[in-house]
Chain A
Amino acid sequence: MPKVEAVFDRLLHPFSDLLDTGSYVWHIIVSASRVVLGFILAALIGIPLGLLVGRYLLFHKIFSPIIEILRPLCPIAWIPFAMAIFKTYTIAEVFGVRYTTTIFGHIQLGMLFVIFYGGFFPIFLNTVHGVKSVKNIFMESALLLGADQRKLFKKVILPASLPAVLTGLRLGLGISWMVIIAAEMLPGSDAGIGYLIMFSYELAEMDILIASMILIGAVGALLSYVVKLASDRTSVWQAKER
């Protein structure tokens, strides 16, 4: 086991190169970019789909069976499949850039897919739940005050389910962050904090490994905190309601 001082020393030098792979800051930026991109994708599809499924029975009937089958399937189980399908294609390659030094050369489609998959379900399911649990009295009040279906959706259902959507986003981001670490540990990965953990394990560099774990925890907490700040700002009323 490494000395505590050695681990601290690693944490105190976040910009220095580690085992010729780049610094902590670099690896965190790579991991975080993958997560943020995959997570945005999950939110862009999960929220609108959740709104539709929660509101319209037809969508509920179409999507519920598919989702009930896919949901228990752990996102990590998808990693080998995603690697096989997407190989090591990166975003840069998809846009026709073969050699690049930008971050996009490190964002593999397979990784995006598993992050999307991990983030999607909490976002989607919480949105559905949020829409379904809008109190009937709010909907009836709005209709009695002259709301049509479109305005009912925009002015009542949307704001009333916003707190649930934000909870979904927070959970989804947490899961995405866990999934990316697992995905980066697998062969075919070239950077990221999960990759660094595995690489330092193979070279028996325990101080780097432990410092990495501490950083994963810290970044995860930070991501969750950012979403919490955003949700506290937008839905103060939810916290104060009884």
Chain B
Amino acid sequence: MAFLKVYNVTKTYIGARKEEILALSDLAFDCSDREFLCIVGPTGCGKTTLLRLIAGLEQPTAGEITIADKIVEGISKNTTLVFQQYSLFPWRNVIDNIAFSMEMRNIHKRTRYEEAQRLIRLVGLTGFEKAFPYELSGGMQQRVAIARALAHNPKLLLLDEPFGALDERTRHRLQEELLTIWEHEKKTVVFVTHNIDEAVFLASRILVMRDRPGSIEYDFQIDLPRPRDRRSKEFLELHIMVREILERILTNTNAY
């Protein structure tokens, strides 16, 4: 049973010179419940646009998106998005950032803090409850952002290159933590990245997008056992395969 369905979605923007820009063209895929779907593709292929459509921040020009058989017409409580840029509220400390969505639901302060504490432990930030975002490193800020999204308790968690700005070691550590959370919290995850290694390490399925206009080029299942070993033969083969697909897309695009 597909949990998230994207039916022939097209999205056009009006550019600076009033011309129509086709960001996504006739894009379609399904995503099952509790899948970890990674979307990779060259810069500007519409990955972020696709995520914003699924999140309900924007509407498709044509086609339709459903989550649990309900058409996405706006922001819904089943979905939340972790942005690439730092998006924590700078006037709130860690615990109040994480508790934000519970505050929106008028949950009692004590309950809200108990749940926030649990999430702080989950993302390994015990002791930083009262710290403000400006006091945290980039990696810690993204951990808080993920905990804040989890506190909203969405069925579908969207992540837009959340580790893009981090150094490799921090990125690897957060990837492992994210997998633990995904297994533990039983979420469906759609994760956008341009980092092939990241996609192969995390995904249970990878979609490769092409650009101009954005559409799906390849769709394959990753059946490597977890935890995955980055140096194993199978991992490297998959890595090379995705790279070749991406390189082909880029040469084709440049040939135009």
Give A230-242 as 1s and 0s: 1 = Cβ < 8 Å from B's Cβ atoms: 0000011110111
Assess whether A240 is in contact with B134, with CB atoms less than 8 Å apart: yes
Residues in A neighbouring B164, C-beta threshold 8 A:
none
Kindly specify which of B96-104, B108-116, B187-195 makes contact with the partner chain.
B96-104
Assess whether B85 is in contact with A137, with CB atoms less than 8 Å apart: yes
Assess whether A147 is in contact with B55, with CB atoms less than 8 Å apart: no
Q: CA A159 – CA B88 in complex, angstroms?
A: 13
Assess whether A144 is in contact with B55, with CB atoms less than 8 Å apart: yes
Min distance, Cβ B56 to any Cβ of chain A, angstroms: 8
Q: Which residue of A lies closest to B77 (CB)?
A: A146
Q: CA A235 – CA B90 in complex, angstroms?
A: 10
Residues in A neighbouring B101, C-beta threshold 8 A:
145-146
Q: Is A25 an interface residue (CB 8 A)?
A: no
Q: Which residue of A lies closest to B79 (CB)?
A: A144
Residues in A neighbouring B92, C-beta threshold 8 A:
159
Q: Give A99-148 interface residues, CB cut-off 8 Å to B.
A: 137-138, 140-148
Interface band, chain B: 20 to 34
Interface band, chain A: 20 to 34
Q: Is A156 an interface residue (CB 8 A)?
A: yes
Residues in A neighbouring B83, C-beta threshold 8 A:
137, 140-141
Assess whether B89 is in contact with A156, with CB atoms less than 8 Å apart: yes
Min distance, Cβ A159 to any Cβ of chain B, angstroms: 4
Assess whether B104 is in contact with A147, with CB atoms less than 8 Å apart: yes
Q: What are 21 A-B contacts defined by CB distance under 8 Å? A: A138-B87, A140-B83, A141-B89, A144-B55, A144-B79, A144-B81, A145-B80, A145-B101, A145-B104, A145-B149, A146-B104, A148-B104, A151-B104, A155-B104, A156-B89, A159-B91, A159-B92, A235-B91, A237-B90, A238-B90, A240-B132
